Amino acid sequence: MSTWAKVMESVVRERRPALVGYAYLMTGSRNEAEDLVQDAIVRTFARGRAKTSVVQAEAYIKRAIANEAINRARHRLVVEQRKPLVATPHSAPGHEHMVSAQADLETALEVLSPRERAVTVLKYVDDLTIASIAAILKLNDGTVKRYLANAAVKLREQLGDDAVNLTERDTVPVTLTESRP
Amino acid sequence: MDLSQQLHSLASDVGNDYAMSAPEDASRLIGKARRGRMVWTSGVGAVAAAGAATLAFGGPAVAAALSGGDAQLAPAGPASESASTSAEPSVTPSPSPEPSASPSPSPSATTAGAGVIDLSGGVTGGDDDDSYDDDHSEGVENHSEDSEDD
């Protein structure tokens, strides 16, 4: 077995569940996350330079997941727009599902657009810088900041002010210590 | 718990849940990747062969340009032709626009090696995904590697 195949086997056996969880944050659908991860793994190893380490391969796969999640979401939006209005409605979640904090988070994430969701995950899960996110998603730095700010506003509306702290803000808190008599 | 922790927790829960029923299909996925890899490398190999053929038979100007020599691509275009005809309308055209750039057989072999990398990179560089920023010359090597594996 060649090196890349051994690395791929390790990725599939050891890192696949974590990647599915990561993809779930991007997509909001378990089935789609599984499908996305499988495609990303195969595509990553089917093309390009042979990956020689699990860490390196996982980084490639995560980038592929982020970009593919956005592409699929945008494609889904186009399909939804062209669907007739008599399409089956979404089933309402049960009460017990809504009481957990995780369910609140999932509901809040659904409010975000695909790109807002992607930059949020890349920022708060992967802890990437604005420049790194911009490079991965092929966006300008300013665009990434705008998506992050929009996402933060929407998440605050859903989860409360304490849930989202904008550490990437350039503002500095100022405290007045003396007052003029 | 802040947003980062909540997201990590959610991803972890989904991942753990998936791990309970994860399919044992590693060999199937490796097979799919191997087939895709063979297609991909054979495509790059064809481009590399075409590049080598171009360098071998396509004229010294291309070879010199790809090798980074002092030859220029611009004089080979229509602009240079019009310039030469206006300057010397009655002179018969010379067969080689850049006589100094025509390489001897042994240098052309070395330029072919460099040209293979450049050409394959240019063609497959149209890939829409930056996550596959490849060293395309390795694709040619991988072709033999894959065939050995199979």
Residue of A8, A17, A34 lying closest to B33 (CB–CB): A8
Write down the pTM of the prediction: 0.60
pLDDT less than 50: residues of chain B: 71, 74-94, 96-150
* The dihedral formed by the CA atoms of B83, B86, B87 and B91, expressed in degrees to the nearest 10: 110
* Residue A16 neighbours by CB under 8 Å, 6+ apart: A37, A41, B18, B22
Same domain, A72 and A139: no
Beta carbons within 8 Å of A124's beta carbon, 6+ residues apart? B3, B4, B7
**pLDDT tens string A21-32:** 999 999 999 999
- Pick the last residue of a domain from A52, A84, A116: A84
CB B66 within 8 A of CB B112: no
Q: Is B139 exposed, middle or buried (0-12, 13-18, 19+ CB in 10 A)?
A: buried
d(CA A36, CA A65): 7
Same-domain check for residues A156 and A180:
yes
pLDDT at B143: 44
Q: Does B79 reach chain A within 8 Å, measured CB to CB? A: no
User: Contact at 8 Å (CB) between B97 and B61?
Assistant: yes
Looking at beta carbons, which residues of chain B come within 8 Å of A51? none
Residues A74, A120, single domain; the answer is: no
Q: Is B18 in Cβ contact with A30 (below 8 Å)?
A: yes
Q: Do B35 and A46 touch (CB under 8 A)?
A: yes
Residue of A nearest to B146 (CA): A2
Quote the CA–CA distance of A22 and A24 in Å, as a whole number: 5
Residue in B2, B28, B29, B140 to test binding to A, most A beta-carbons within 10 Å: B29
> Does residue B143 contact residue B41 with C-beta atoms inside 8 Å?
yes
- Is there a single domain that holds both residue A60 and residue A109? no
Contact A110, A76 (CB under 8 A): no
pLDDT digits (tens, 9 = 90+) for A62-107: 999 999 999 998 888 777 777 666 555 555 554 444 447 778 888 8
Which chain B residues in 27-46 lie under 8 Å from chain A, judged by CB atoms?
A: 27, 29-30, 32-37, 40
Residue A123 sits in the same domain as residue A63: no
Q: Which residues of A touch B40 (CB under 8 A)?
A: 46-48
Q: Look up the CATH number of the domain holding residue A157.
A: 1.10.10.10
pLDDT of residue A34: 94
Are A116 and A53 in a shared domain? no
Q: Is residue A30 part of a domain?
A: yes
Say if A175 falls within a structural domain.
yes
Distance CA B32, CA A43 (A): 9
Strands (E), B79-132: none
* End-to-end C-alpha distance for chain A, whole angstroms: 81
Question: Residue B37: its pLDDT value, please?
Answer: 83
Inform me whether the C-beta atom of residue A1 falls under 8 Å from chain B C-beta atoms.
yes
A153: in domain: yes
Which of A9, A47, A106 has its CB closest to that of B26?
A9
Query: Taking Cα atoms as reference points, which of B69, B77, B76, B68 lies closest to residue B101?
Result: B69
Contacts of A137 in chain B (CB under 8 A): none
How many domains is chain A partitioned into structurally?
A: 2
Q: For residue range A136-158, what is the model confidence (pLDDT) as tens digits?
A: 999 999 999 999 999 999 998 88
Residues A6 and A50 in one domain: yes
State the pLDDT at residue B24: 85
Task: Please report whether residue A160 resides in a domain.
Answer: yes
- Whether residue A122 is contained in a domain is answered as yes
**Do B18 and A63 count as a contact with CB atoms less than 8 A apart?**
no
Domain ends where: A55, A84, A113?
A: A84
Q: What tokens does B40 get?
A: 């991909």
Ordered DSSP codes for A29-79: -HHHHHHHHHHHHHHHHHSSSPP-SHHHHHHHHHHHHHHHHHHHHHHHHHH
Q: Is A65 on the interface with B (CB under 8 A)?
A: no
Say what the pLDDT of residue B119 is: 39
**The pLDDT of residue B142:** 44
Q: Is there a single domain that holds both residue A104 and residue A73?
A: no
Q: How far A178 CA sits from the closest chain B CA (Å)?
A: 34
For residues A114 and A181, membership in a common domain is answered with yes
- Residue A92 maps to a domain: no
Closest residue of chain B to A47, computed from CA coordinates = B37
Cβ atoms of residues A66 and A26 within 8 Å: yes
For residue A172, pLDDT over 80 is answered with: no
DSSP string, A64-119: HHHHHHHHHHHHHHHHHHHS-TTSPPPPPPPHHHHSSHHHHHHHHHHHS-HHHHHH
For chain A, give the mean pLDDT.
83
Pair A18, A65 in one domain: yes
Q: What is the DSSP letter of A161?
A: G
Which of A84, A110, A134 lies at the terminal end of a domain, its last residue?
A84
A90 part of a folded domain: no
Range of the domain at A16: 1-84
Residue A13 lies in a domain: yes
A158 versus A41: the higher-pLDDT residue is: A41
Task: Kindly state whether residues A151 and A178 are assigned to the same domain.
Answer: yes
What are B97's two structure tokens?
Answer: 């626009």
Are A79 and A6 contained in the same domain? yes
